[in-house]
Amino acid sequence: MEANMNKNMTIIGVQMDLGADRRGVDMGPSAIRYAGVVNRLESMGFSIKDIGNIPVDRPNQLVSTDHHKYLDQVVDANTKLAEAVNKEMQEGRFPLVLGGDHSIAMGTIAGVTRHVKNLGVIWFDAHGDLNTGETTPSGNIHGMPLAASLGLGHERLVNIGGFAPKLKPENIVIIGARDLDAPERALIKELGIKVYTMHEIDRLGMARVMDEAVAHVSKGTDGVHLSLDLDGLDPHDAPGVGTPVIGGISYREGHLAMEILAEADVLISAEFVEVNPILDRENLTAKVAVALMSSAFGDKLL
């Protein structure tokens, strides 16, 4: 274990599937807990407090506002999550958020950036999550959290936690991208966001990608947040996700990435999202999530 890693960790679940509008991902936190996350982290010397799940209000029918599905409910849950993350960080604890769909990143980042002025973010994902109400092909808010955290999009999403923007483009690295919408590609170029697509990972190798990514998000920042969408991995290794895209990061590459991140000792918060046990095989994806967490937080074979 790295000497500076915060051993006081709080687990916060968010049973959110409204951002994806596909049932099942709301069971992700339960699946990850069932896969033994608490025992695994406690065995590594962490003091774990599990505060349960953030309540999510579920309407009986689809509600769409300004090209955003379930806007009220997503804003409400993320506001509560931001408050919970803020409270745990005030107490000097490391927030580990379990999803749920990726829309919950807005709440996690809102809570963390109450404490960290310049937050670096490593965004493991097959997708860019940089859509807004003007560019979204679906209205699903789980495709918008990175844009909202940058201050782009619907004012209610942008202002979760009461302030905006939360992030600066130069402090973000996206890793594993292989399914970007045309407006997202344009925005990435316009803002100069650093992206390592699967093409770069294949050409450079994961070790070099992670070395460069860690250096990038550590420069001038006060800490790094890991936002890991399990669809960043190849569906062969993580089948239980709502939007699988073939040709992703392998299980071994994922572990190597997390181990390099642990060695850098820069993480102050993390979330693991988009585990959907309904679409999974024998809870495999939740088990992969727990294994990746242990590597990210310093577990080693020797």
Please give the chain's pLDDT, 302 residues, in tens: 345 789 999 999 999 999 997 899 999 999 999 999 999 999 999 999 999 999 999 999 999 999 999 999 999 999 999 999 999 999 999 999 999 999 999 999 999 999 999 999 999 999 999 999 999 999 999 999 999 999 999 999 999 999 999 999 999 999 999 999 999 999 999 999 999 999 999 999 999 999 999 999 999 999 999 999 999 999 999 999 999 999 999 999 999 999 999 999 999 999 999 999 999 999 999 999 999 999 999 998 77
Strands (E), 35-124: 47-54, 64-65, 68-69, 94-99, 120-124
Query: What distance in Å separates the CA atoms of residue 69 and residue 63, rounded to the nearest whole number?
Result: 6
Of 17, 101, 179, 231, the active-site residue reads: 231
Of 102, 154, 225, 255, the active-site residue reads: 102
Q: Is 72 a catalytic residue?
A: no
Q: Is 265 a catalytic residue?
A: no
Q: How many CB atoms lie within 10 A of CB 88?
A: 23
Burial of 211 (0-12, 13-18, 19+ CB in 10 A): middle
Residue 7: what pLDDT?
Answer: 97
Residue 2: what pLDDT?
Answer: 41
Q: Is 216 a catalytic residue?
A: no
Q: Is 231 a catalytic residue?
A: yes
| pTM for the structure as a whole | 0.98
Of 101, 129, 259, 299, the active-site residue reads: 129
Q: Is 127 a catalytic residue?
A: yes
Residue 3: what pLDDT?
Answer: 52
Query: What distance in Å separates the CA atoms of residue 231 and residue 246, rounded to the nearest whole number?
Result: 9
Which residue ranges form the domains of the chain, and what is each CATH number? 8-296 (3.40.800.10)
Residue 94 CA, distance from chain mean position: 15
Q: Is 274 a catalytic residue?
A: yes
Of 17, 21, 101, 125, the active-site residue reads: 125
How is the chain split among helix, strand and coil, in percent rounded to 5? Answer: 40, 20, 40
Q: Is 125 a catalytic residue?
A: yes
- Which letter, b or e, does each residue of 245-261 get, where b requires 16 or more Cβ atoms within 10 Å of its Cβ? beebbeeebbbbbbbbb
Q: Is 222 a catalytic residue?
A: no
Of 142, 154, 225, 255, the active-site residue reads: 142
Of 101, 179, 253, 274, the active-site residue reads: 274
Of 229, 234, 253, 280, the active-site residue reads: 229
